[in-house]
Amino acid sequence: MLQELTIQNLALIEKLHLNFHSGFSTLTGETGAGKSILLDALGLSLGERADSSLVRHNTARADVIAQFNIETQPNVQAWLKQHELEDDQDCLLRRTVTPEGRSKAYINSRPVPASQLKKLGSLLIDIHGQHEHQSLLSSTKQLELLDAYAAHPTLTPACKQSYQAWQTLQQTLKTHLENQVDDQNRLELLRFQNTEFNEIQPVQDEFETLSQEQHQLSHAKEIQTACQTAYDAIEGESGAAEKINQAILSLEQIADVTPLLQTNLAQLNSALIEAQEAASEIQHQANTTELDPQRLTAIEERLSQLFSLAKKYNIDPSELTIKQQQLQQSLSELTQSEDSLGTLKQEIEDAWNYFQSQAKQLQTSRQKAAKKLSYVVTEGMRTLGMPNGQFEVRLETLETPNIMGLDKVAFYVTANKGQPPQPLAKVASGGELSRISLAIQVATAEVACLPTLIFDEVDVGIGGGIAEVVGKKMQQLGNHKQILSITHLAQVASHGHCHLHIEKQTRNEQTYTHVTELTNEKRIEELARMMGGLTVTEQTLSHAKEMLKNAQK
C-alpha cells in the first residue's frame, strides 16, 4: 500500500510530505486547490510522461518520492528481485523533472528507465479517473474490464503468445511464397550447374597431378636422352664411378703409410655409393619414361575440360572440387526449403489449433465472468438510483480472431422497465453513464489484485442518497484495500476512515498548496462547507456532524 508521498517544487507545491493510511481515505478541497496536482505527482512517481510545465517557477527541478509497503505483495517482491532492485519490505519510487523537460527515474535509489517505473507502478496502484466513463464506450476498454474482472492472469497471456506464434509462422509462409519465384529460378540454375560439374566430376588435386604428368609426357624423349647421358657419365666406360673406384684403389695401397688419408678414403667410398645409387635411379627413370602420345592426348583433353570449367566460374582449377561442394550444399538447402513448405504448413495448422484451444479456454472464462459481472453491475445500478436498471455483458465470436482471442465484447444496458437492453453508447444519458461507470468500476475494483485504488471524482453527476450509497460502498472496499477518493460530495467524504483537506495558501505574494489531515472537529467544518458553500451555518454544522456520525457507525 501507499505509505508516504513527498513532493518538492511541483506546480503550486513547494514542499509537501503526506502519510497515507490503510482503509478508505478521502481528499477534498475547493476547485483549483490542487487535488489534481497530487494525482499528477503520484503519476510521475509511477512512470507517467514527465511534463516540464509542472516544475515550480524559478526552481531547479521537481522531485516526487512515493513509498510503498509491499509485505503482502509477493508479485511486486518477485518483480524487484528479478530486476535486482529489491530492498527489504519497502519500495521507494522517485522521479525528478527539470524545467528543460529532462527526467530521471529511480527504484529503491537505483536509476532505471521510466518504462520500468511504469511497469512496477502498474503492480501497485490502479487509478479510476472521472472521465473514465467515456472510455467505457470503447469495445476495447470493455474487453479489458471484463478480463480484469474475470481474473484469469494466465489465460490472456497464453492466448496472446499462441496468436503471435501463429502470426509469425504465417509471416514466414508469406515470405516463403513471395520468394518462391526467385527460389525456383535459382533452383533451376543450381541444378544446371551441378549437372555441369557432375558430367566432368573433378577430383581433389587432379589438376595438379595431371599437369605434372602432362609435362612429363610432353618431354619424354628429352627425359630419356638426358637420363641415358647422365647414366653413361656415371656408369659407362671411363665414367665417374670407374674413376672414383680407381682413386679408392690408389689410396688403399698407401693407407697404412699415410693414416691421415683415411678420412678422404671414407669420403670417396661414400661418393661412389651415392653416385651408383643416383645412376640406378636415373636408369629407372629412363626405363619408366615412355613415349605415349595417346595418354598425353587424353590428359590434355582432361586438363582442357577442367580449365574451361574453372574459367567459366572464374576460379582456379584447383578450387573446382570446393565449388562443386558449395553448389551441392546450396542445392540441398534450396531443395530442403521446398520440401519444408509442407512442414511449415503443418506447423501453421498446429499453431492455429493451439491458439484456438487457448482462445476457447479464455472465452469460457469470459463467458462465466460476463454472467457474474452482469449481475453485480445490475445490482450496483439499482443501489445507485436506477431501480429498473439492467446491465448485460454480451460476447460475440469474431469472424477474424485477433491477439485478444475469439471474442468481441459489448456492454448493453437499460434504465427503464420494459425496455430491452441496448448498447451502452446509445441509451445512457450523461448522468446515467456516470452512475453506470461507477457501478462497473466498483465491481471490478472488488476483484482487483492491486492493493491501492484511487477514485478521482468518479462520483461527478450524482448526489443525495445515491452519493451516500457510493460512500458506503467505498467504505466497504476500504475494509479490504487501500482506497483513496478525491471527491466533491460530503456524503462520500463522510464515509472515509481518514480525511485529507487540500487548500491554497498565499505567503509573500506566492501561492502554495497545503494538505492537512483533518481532526474530527475540522472534518465536520469541511463537510459543512461542502454542503453549504460559502456560508456555513449552525444548522449546516449540525447536519455535517450527524452525517459523519452516521457514516462512521
How confident is the model at residue 12, as a pLDDT?
Answer: 83
How confident is the model at residue 533, as a pLDDT?
Answer: 65
Instruction: Quickly count: other Cβ atoms within 10 Å of residue 28's Cβ.
Output: 26
Profile the chain (553 residues) by mean pLDDT over runs of 10 residues.
92 88 90 78 89 88 93 88 84 93 92 92 79 71 88 91 94 77 75 90 89 80 84 85 87 80 87 89 80 81 90 91 88 70 87 96 96 93 87 93 94 88 78 76 75 80 81 87 90 93 79 85 92 81 92 86
- For residues 63 and 28, the answer to whether their CB atoms sit within 8 Å is no
Going along the chain from its start, the domains and CATH numbers come out as 1-124+450-517 (3.40.50.300), 183-335 (no CATH), 520-553 (no CATH)
Residue with cell 465472468: 369
- Amino acid, res. 288: T
Question: All 3 cell numbers of residue 46?
Answer: 509511477
What are the residues facing 128 on neighbouring strands? Answer: 455
- For residues 34 and 504, the answer to whether their CB atoms sit within 8 Å is yes
Report the DSSP pairing between strands 62-69 and 405-414.
Answer: unpaired
CA distance 524 to 160: 52
C-alpha triplet 472, 473, 478: angle, nearest 5°: 95
- For residues 505 and 515, the answer to whether their CB atoms sit within 8 Å is no
**Global pTM value:** 0.61
Report the DSSP pairing between strands 13-19 and 422-423.
Answer: unpaired
CA distance 516 to 54: 22
